[in-house]
Amino acid sequence: MKEYTNTGSKDTRSGFGEALLELGKQNPDVVALCADLTGSMKMDAFAKAFPERFFQVGIAEANMMSIAAGMTIGGKIPFTGTFANFSTGRVYDQIRQSIAYSEKNVKICASHAGVTLGEDGATHQILEDIGLMKMLPGMTVINTCDFNQTKAATLAIAKHIGPVYLRFGRPKVPNFTPADSEFEIGKAILLNEGTDVSIFATGHLVWKALEAGKILEKNGIHAEIINIHTIKPLDCEAILASVSKTGCVVTAEEHMMNGGLGDSIAQLLIRENPLPMEMIAVNDQFGQSGKPEELLVKYGLEAANIVKAVQKVMSRKK
């Protein structure tokens, strides 16, 4: 099992904030919009350095999305910032008509996704956002796993032409991907080679998958662990290559089972190579208040749950 070291836990949103500031220096067309969450989104550094390119929209997310769409006319590259719930569900129609259908180059950057938002509870803990966004034709959907990857992804989406949904989170989580590595949209990252099972994880659950891999290794199970940071477009080639070797699959994500990464992979496998599959995700329920780590346990999103799912899926192998 390949070793991954936590170089110091950090929040993914800070990776976004650092990269946004860098983008401001690199590209005069990058503009940022925020709906009264500048501090939480870590957009203050950009706002301070480039006040003429930072637009405080106030608590009006629908307006923010449509303004961003309009700003692309004239060549701007708008980055919108608010929580995942207010970046998707609240403004779905604005994104659908003015951004996705109108093919606008807007980068929808969403923090505080999933149950790890914690104490604020279900009103703020969206678990449906990946599903909502991936259903839109032409939308790229990315869910990053740590600080370094969020920073790299933020830099990368500025160069991509087309609408992007970039999802990250609130809590400090282990930072283990290499610093300053280039982020390739749509290219899965093989973290550990294995032969017994393929574990496809995204976002905060990638580290949990690595922890599960260590436990499995001790039990003589060699798990292949792959970081699917881009849910759309899905790296079908990497996924099919892995499963043809391992013969069974576990997916892991901090999202609703309906509409999530597992759902995308299941659709692919049912068409190309039907195999035993288990999904670690929230199954048709809302979150609740609590500490992030308590909620991950409560909703079955821990390394231990991945281990159990692997044991179950391997028993189903023919």
Residues 129 and 113: their CA atoms lie apart, in Å, by 8
Plot region of 52 (φ>0 → left; ψ -120 to 50 → alpha; else → beta): alpha
DSSP classification of residue 274: -
Task: By CB under 8 A, tell whether 115 contacts other proteins.
Answer: no
Region from 8-16, 65-73, 169-177, 309-317 binding other proteins, contact rule CB under 8 A? 65-73
Among 39, 58, 89, 233, binds other proteins (CB under 8 A): 58
Among 75, 180, 218, 284, binds other proteins (CB under 8 A): 75
Residues 6 or more apart whose Cβ sits within 8 Å of residue 234: 186, 228, 264, 265, 268
Among 60, 89, 178, 273, binds other proteins (CB under 8 A): 60
Region from 13-21, 49-57, 162-170, 226-234 binding other proteins, contact rule CB under 8 A? 49-57
Among 12, 66, 88, 175, binds other proteins (CB under 8 A): 66
- 88-107 binders of other proteins (CB under 8 A): 93-94, 96-98, 101-103
Could you tell me the CA-to-CA distances from 65 to 28, 99, 251, 278, 310 in Å, in that order?
20, 8, 31, 36, 41
Per rule CB under 8 A, count of chain residues that contact other proteins: 30
Task: By CB under 8 A, tell whether 161 contacts other proteins.
Answer: no
The structure tokens listed for 253 are 């994500």
162: burial class by Cβ within 10 Å (0-12, 13-18, 19+)?
middle
Do 76 and 29 contact (CB within 8 A), yes or no?
Answer: yes
CB of 96 to other proteins, least distance (A): 8
Task: By CB under 8 A, tell whether 63 contacts other proteins.
Answer: yes
Closer CB to other proteins, 86 or 183, in the complex: 86
Closer CB to other proteins, 80 or 192, in the complex: 80
* Closest C-alpha to 118, from 172, 184, 182, 199: 172
Closer CB to other proteins, 29 or 211, in the complex: 29
Residues forming the active site: 61
Q: 177 in helix, strand or coil?
A: coil
- How many C-beta atoms surround the C-beta of residue 25 within 10 A? 11
Closer CB to other proteins, 58 or 89, in the complex: 58
Note the residues at the interface with other proteins (CB under 8 A).
Answer: 31, 52-53, 55, 57-58, 60, 62-63, 65-76, 78, 93-94, 96-98, 101-103
